[in-house]
Structure 1
Amino acid sequence: MIPRFPLPTLALLVCCAVFFHLSPAASAAPTVVERPDWAKFFTDAGVTGTLVLLEDGARTVQVHDAARAAKGFLPASTFKIPNSLIALETGVAPGPDTVFPWDGTKRSIEAWNADLTLTQALRVSCVPIYQELARKIGPERMKWWVSAMGYGNADIGDAIDTFWLEGKLRISALEQAAFLQRLAHDGLPLSKRTMALVREMLVEERTANGVLRAKSGLTARVVPNVAWWVGWVEKGDKRWFFALNIDADHPEALAARKAVVKTVLASEGIWP
């Protein structure tokens, strides 16, 4: 059974469904172009993985390791993006400044041992708070929204508070970039308010020249570990969407996530 929604939300869902069904631009997949020259950035960082770079309006998507870019992996904490969207849209979290009190349990990540707003919880990637959100959303609504947004294989399984960490949910780097592009352009079946709030929550860097929005992730509960960094750059009316995942088989790999992406962005004249 589909969860009940207010009439304005239902109308928005219908409009979005019609648009994406009828729009040739929305359904036309860009051509994948391999960038073997990017291999040196991965080699220099000592990591193995893939990177997708999608520019708005381009007929091609540039990729290092196209086979891996199409392979689904657990999203880990990059799922905090759709989790935030769903929590805000359903009212489970009324707004980005909603405070979640610390439960008093001491955890190894010190930043988690405090009262946090939703925005702060996203930025420090606080797993317990997002598990609480998922439980409050509940399996039925979560399954419906993940499917409605077209997020990866949309398989949330049976464990409502761990499915993105060690469950069956899978998403590829290509799918991550496409999902973020829809979020950037109000192309998800959600209110514009919700999407605007989450876009602002994702701001990682803001300069006079543009904005970098991003989220990291690490599949720390499974072997082999995979580390993510996904997001996009905005400069005026131009946008470039990126999604990287790498094998996180040594401690230095975590820092390499951002380093590889930023090196590629700099080589392409995109960021900073």
Structure 2
Amino acid sequence: MNRKLLSLFGVISLVYFTCFSSLRYLHAETVFLDRHEHSSQLHGTKVQFLARDLESGIDYVLADSDLTTRHSPFSTFKIPNMLIALETGVSTSPDHWRDWDPVKRPAEEFWPDVWKQGQTLEQAFARSAVWYFRDLALEIGTEAYRDYLTSWAYGNSEVPEGSDHFWLGDILKISTREQVDFLEKLVSGELGVSRANLDSLERASFQGSQASISLHGKTGTGPDQGGAWEGRFSGWYVGYLRRTEKRPVVFALHVSAPSFSALSSFRKAFSLTLLQDAGLITSVQFEP
């Protein structure tokens, strides 16, 4: 009887070890980054930040960050959107060209000049040209979006029927932690996306390098009150560090600020400052 119990215990132990050793890690350690050290930069803002080192399993969190409240992804949604466009064949390649139709998509006052022209998918990603991705959304369709976003556990995965702007308001929402979880699956090759399409995103999102590290990222922003361009704005900088000798670092920063100008350059710059605080990069300077 004791031998049987011992054998059963051995089987259970083996199953337990096999299951849990297959996980990359259990995020057992969290390092908190000092918020007060940056109080002068944070005046008037609300900032949440999480970086995850996939090599060590350590989460680096800006102290007192709210990582669970969901927000509109705004243009950070161009990361999954580009992948979905390529995977469905709606875009045949990152060089897929679309003409801008000023009748269908009339320019708004805040549009930069680079939006007011035809462009490729890769250019539209880099320029954050909203009209291009709204056109894509109509061709991709509601069901495809729902299927992909649900399988990827992307925020609340909500997509209204026929919408071409669901990522720009209060419908599709995602938290800071969920952004990082999604990016972890992305860089770990767990989204079921082809290698060629991942490489296309890698090129489009490239934002510079230092030593053996390349930076990939995407910003996103919008007014806290729809159409209130003179009021508070919220925004993101999300991305990852690709390292030649270690697994990547994935990160997300969400910020609410008094105005667009207060967060425009702040998002990326402060993200790099925190990555340096965490010892994950040696400098905030990246060569194009």
TM-score if structure 1 supplies the norm length? 0.84
Q: Distance in 2 between matches of 1:263 and 1:24?
A: 34
Aligned match of 1:228: 236
Q: Which amino acid aligns with 2:255?
A: I
| Equivalent residues of 1:153, 1:169 under 8 A apart | yes
User: Are 1:202 and 2:212 an aligned pair?
Assistant: no
Structure 1's consecutive aligned runs of 4 or more residues displaced over 6 angstroms after TM superposition are none
Equivalent pair of 2:33/2:60 in contact (CA under 8 Å) = no
Percent of pairs identical after alignment?
27
2:11 aligns with none
CA distance in structure 2 between the partners assigned to 1:184 and 1:138 by the alignment: 26
Determine the C-alpha separation between the residues in 1 that align with 2:156 and 2:198: 21
Partner of 1:138: 141
Paired residues for 1:239-258 under 5 Å? 239-250=248-259, 251-258=261-268
- Segment drifting more, 217-226 vs 54-63: 217-226
Task: Assess if the C-alpha contact under 8 Å between 2:49 and 2:65 holds in 1.
Answer: no
| Equivalent residues, number | 251
- Aligned to 2:125, which of 112, 122, 130? 122
| Secondary structure of the structure 2 residue equivalent to 1:69 | coil
- Larger Rg: 1 or 2? 2
Q: Which residue of structure 2 lines up, in the alignment, with residue 147 of structure 1?
A: 150
Unpaired runs of 5+ in structure 2?
A: 1-18, 227-231, 284-288
CA contact (8 A) 2:35 2:63 kept: no
Q: 1:165 touches 1:221 (CA, 8 Å); kept in 2?
A: no
Residue in structure 1 matched with residue 272 of structure 2 by the alignment: 262
CA RMSD, Structure 1 to Structure 2 (Å): 2.2
Could you say what secondary structure the match of 1:89 adopts?
Answer: helix
Give how far 1:221 is off. 6.5
Q: Distance in 2 between matches of 1:58 and 1:232?
A: 15
Alpha-carbon distance change, 138 to 255 in structure 1, aligned in 2, over 3 angstroms: same
CA distance in 2, matches of 1:186, 1:219: 30
Q: Deviations over 1:70-113 (max 9, x none)?
A: 21111110000000010000000001011111213444321101
The DSSP-based 3-state class of the residue aligned with 1:163 is: coil
Relative to its length, the structure with more helix (as a share) is 1
Residue identity opposite 1:236 in structure 2: T
Query: SS of 1:166's equivalent?
Result: coil
Q: Is 1:35 aligned with 2:32? A: yes
Unaligned runs of 5+ residues in structure 1 are 1-21
